[in-house]
Amino acid sequence: MTELLKLSWQPQLQSPSLVVGWSGEGSTLGAKVTDYLNKKLGGQSFGEIEPTEFFPLAGVTIEDDLVQFPESKFYAFPKNDLVVLRSDPPSYDWYRFLTLILDIAETCQVKEILAIGGMVSLSAHTAPRQLLGTFNSPELKEALSSYNLDREMNYETPPGQRPTLNSFFLWVAKRRNIPGVSLWVPIPFYLLTVDDPRAEKRVLEFLNRRSDLGMDLTDLDEEIKKQNVKLARARESSPEIDEAIGRLESNLTLSPEENQKLIREIEKFLRGKGD
C-alpha cells in the first residue's frame, strides 16, 4: 500500500463484488446508489484514497450552502460480502488513481467490479428504464446472461468526446485480470442533474439479485411516486412543459434551446421551487 491509500481496518470478506459509484460523471446515479447501499445495509468505511495527488484542492466548492470536498471512500459490508467505493472522479493522474482502487480490490479479493454510470437519454421520463452492461470479460458477460440486462451494446467514442471514467476503469481492471461490468441506465436528460429514482431502483434491483442483498426497495417506489406527482404537476401547470414532454413521448426531438428550458423548468419543480 502507498501512503495515498489509508486503510483503517481490514474487512473479512470471502469473494466480494466491488460496487463503484462516482459522484459526478454526468449524473447523480452512482452516488445515489452507493448512498442507498450504505444507508440500507450499514456500510462501514474502512479506507480512503488521499486526495492530494488527484484533485486540485484550490479551495472548496459550495453546493446548496454546503462545503464540498473530494472524497474517495471504501465501505465494507461483511454480512453481504460486498465492497463499495463512493468517489469523486479524479481530476488528474487517472491511471494511478484507478490502480489504487484495484490495489484495494485485490487486497479484498474482489471477484468482480460493478461500476455504475448514467447516460443521457432523449426519451421522456415515462419511458421504461433500460439497464445496459459493457464488459471487460466475455465470461462475466456470459455469467450475467440470465439478468434483465442489455448486453449487446456497440459504441465508439464520437470525435471531440472522451471515454467515460468507467470505460478507463474497466480497461485497467482487465489488465489486472479482474472482470468488470459497467452498468448504464439511460436517464432522461432533464433528470440528469436532479434525481431519477427509477434509474436508481433499476440498478439496485440488479445488485440485489447479483449479490443476494435482500434489500426491500419499496421506499424507492414511494420516491418514484412522489416524483411522478411532481412531474405531472409540472405538466399541468405549464402547457409548454407538457408539450415538450409530449413530443419526447412521441419520439420527437427538441431544439437545444427547448432542451435547456425543459431542464431548467423541471429542476425548479423537482427542487420544490415550482410548487
Partner 1 sequence: MGIRLYIEPKLQKPDLVASWPGIGNIGLIAADTLRRQIGGEELGEIEPWDFFYPRRVIIKDGILTDLEFPSNKFYYQRLAKKDLILFIGEEQPIDGGRVYAEGKKAYQIANLVLDVAERFGCQRVYTSGAAVALTRHTLKPRVWAVTSSESLIKEVKSYENTVLMSEIEGRGDWGSISGLNGLLLGLARKRGFEAICLMGEIPDYLSGAPFPYPRASKSVLEVLTNLLGIQISYDALDDWAAQMDEIIGGIYEKLPPDIKEKIEQRENVVRAKPEMITDEDKEWIKKHIDELFKKGGRGDDRAS
Residue 23 or 136: the one with the smaller Cβ distance to partner 1 is 136
Backbone angles phi, psi at 269, to 5 degrees: -65, -45
Residue 136 CB, shortest distance to partner 1, in Å, is 5
Q: Is 189 exposed, middle or buried (0-12, 13-18, 19+ CB in 10 A)?
A: buried
CB of 56 to partner 1, least distance (A): 6
Closest of 61, 58, 54 to residue 91, by C-alpha: 54
Count of alpha carbons within 13 angstroms of residue 171, beta-carbon side: 8
Q: What angle separates helix 165-175 from helix 94-107, to the nearest 10 degrees?
A: 50
119 or 263: whose CB is closer to partner 1?
119
The residue (of 162 and 273) whose beta carbon lies closer to partner 1 is: 162
3-state secondary structure of 40: helix
Q: How far is the CB of 256 from partner 1 (least distance, A)?
A: 17
In this structure, are residues 54 and 70 in contact, taking their beta carbons and an 8 Å threshold? yes
Nearest distance, CB of residue 117 and partner 1, angstroms? 12
Cell of 157: 467514442
* Dist CA 85 CA 269 (whole Å): 31
Reduced to 3 states (helix: H, G, I; strand: E, B; else coil), residue 117 is: strand
Q: Looking at beta carbons only, is 27 or 134 nearer to partner 1? A: 134
Nearer to partner 1, 17 or 164 (CB): 164
CA angle, residues 138, 26, 187, in degrees to nearest 5: 75
CA distance 61 to 68: 5
Instruction: Give me the residues that bind partner 1 (CB under 8 A), please.
Output: 56, 91-96, 133-138, 141, 150-157, 162-164, 167-168, 170-172, 174, 182
Q: Taking the complex as a whole, how short is the minimal distance between the CB of residue 172 and partner 1, in angstroms? A: 8
Q: Please state the closest distance from residue 159 (CB atom) to partner 1, in A.
A: 9
Q: Which is nearer to partner 1, 30 or 43 (CB)?
A: 30
